[in-house]
Amino acid sequence: MNPLILGLVTGVIFGFLLQKGRVLRFEKQLGALRLQDFTIIKFMLSSILVGMFGLLILQQAGWIALSHKPFNVGAVVIGGALFGVGWAIAGYCPGTSVGAVGEGRWHALFAIAGMLAGAALFAEAYPWLKTTVLAWKDFGKIGLPDLLGINPWWCALGLAVLYLGLFVWFERRRL
């Protein structure tokens, strides 16, 4: 199969599910960031719970290779914080901005335009960032089981208990 067609099909299903889960809405994004509506948190943790075991099975069977993003401290911390600030102002993250336009929330087009500008700006700043923030300290592509020095299955099990505990807490508190 052509990778482009595979990407398109995967994206259509992804977008369909994001929309049905109602996580594309501005109200849901801000609801999560204002700690008033936990729809997005539930959606994310539920997908992570299923995906974590599925990917672990495939990886242990030797069918796929994991690909951790590097833990470059300055980049992840400063970049992550900047992302959070922009996310709260725009009300959309990259994936949801595109989906929001799909369900008619056309003001998200301006968020997309801003994101394209931000990507272009980053490309201009990259040579400078490479010698500064990106050069501070890179712990490389590490997984939590490596960091803790434990078996990945135990790590996944521990995280699963944590996520399920959060689900119980959300529902008891009717969040």
Partner 1 sequence: MSASSDSKGWSPYLAGALVGLLAVLSAAATTKVMGKTNFLGASTTFVRAAGLIEKAVVPSHVENNEYMAKEKVRVDWQFMLVLGILLGASLASRLDGSFSWEAVPPIWKERFGPSPAVRALGAFVGGLVAMFGARLADGCPSGHGLSGLMQMSVSGFVALALFFGAGVLTAHWLYGGKQS
Q: Both tokens of residue 62?
A: 């030797």
CB 172 → partner 1: shortest distance, Å? Answer: 15
Distance of alpha carbon 27 from alpha carbon 37, whole angstroms: 9
Distances (CA, A) of 84 to 116, 129, 146, 149, 160: 17, 19, 27, 30, 25
CB 125 → partner 1: shortest distance, Å? Answer: 8
Q: Closer CB to partner 1, residue 83 or residue 169?
A: 83
Q: Closer CB to partner 1, residue 109 or residue 161?
A: 109
At 71 the three-state DSSP class reads coil
72 phi, psi to nearest 5 deg:
-90, 105
How many residues are listed for the chain in this entry? Answer: 175
Q: Closer CB to partner 1, residue 68 or residue 165?
A: 68
CB 77 → partner 1: shortest distance, Å? Answer: 6
Distance of alpha carbon 78 from alpha carbon 125, whole angstroms: 14
Q: Closer CB to partner 1, residue 1 or residue 172?
A: 1
CB 109 → partner 1: shortest distance, Å? Answer: 8
